[in-house]
Copies of this chain bind each other. A is one copy, B any other.
Amino acid sequence: MFREVRTTDEKELFSVEDVAKKLGITARTLHYYEEVGLIVPSSRTAGGHRLYAQDVVEKLAYILRIKDSLGYSLQEIRNVLAAQETLDRLRESYQSGSETERQQIIDESIELMTTILQHIDEKLEKLSEMKTGLLERLDRVKKLRP
């Protein structure tokens, strides 16, 4: 029923269908994202079937949120992910290069996040406007009823 693995340390692995259903996408999307280098299955079965661990599923969910909510292209998403990974590396081994380099990474991260926040706010505003407009129209239509 669940594909657990012999690695003894409890990692649950999910099949393509498991992941697709969980995230509301199709297997094709997983294959495609792998093709363009966005995600990689954590492992494969002896027969070659893809297996995904929890962290990859979460990364995917993150990608899908950015794509669906903000409408970013996969290329833009790649850039966002790359920036975040750079930041993560900085955070973990906190002597990765010179101080100016360090500063630059942080500054770029802040800039990127600020830009994304702006996009979110724009979307939120447009959606709110659409909502009020629609609610008004819905009201008017409902008055046509007996």
Contacts and interface: CB of A to CB of B under 8 A. Distances in A.
Given A106-B145, A113-B141, A120 B124 contact: no
Given A127-B120, A131-B117, A106 B138 contact: no
A57 B138 CA distance: 23
A137 interface: yes
A130 B87 contact: no
Contact of A113 (B69, B110, B126, B137): B137
A120 B130 contact: yes
A141 B87 contact: yes
20 contacts: A66-B130, A68-B126, A91-B144, A106-B144, A106-B145, A110-B138, A110-B142, A113-B134, A113-B137, A113-B138, A113-B141, A114-B138, A117-B134, A117-B135, A117-B138, A120-B130, A120-B134, A124-B128, A124-B131, A127-B127
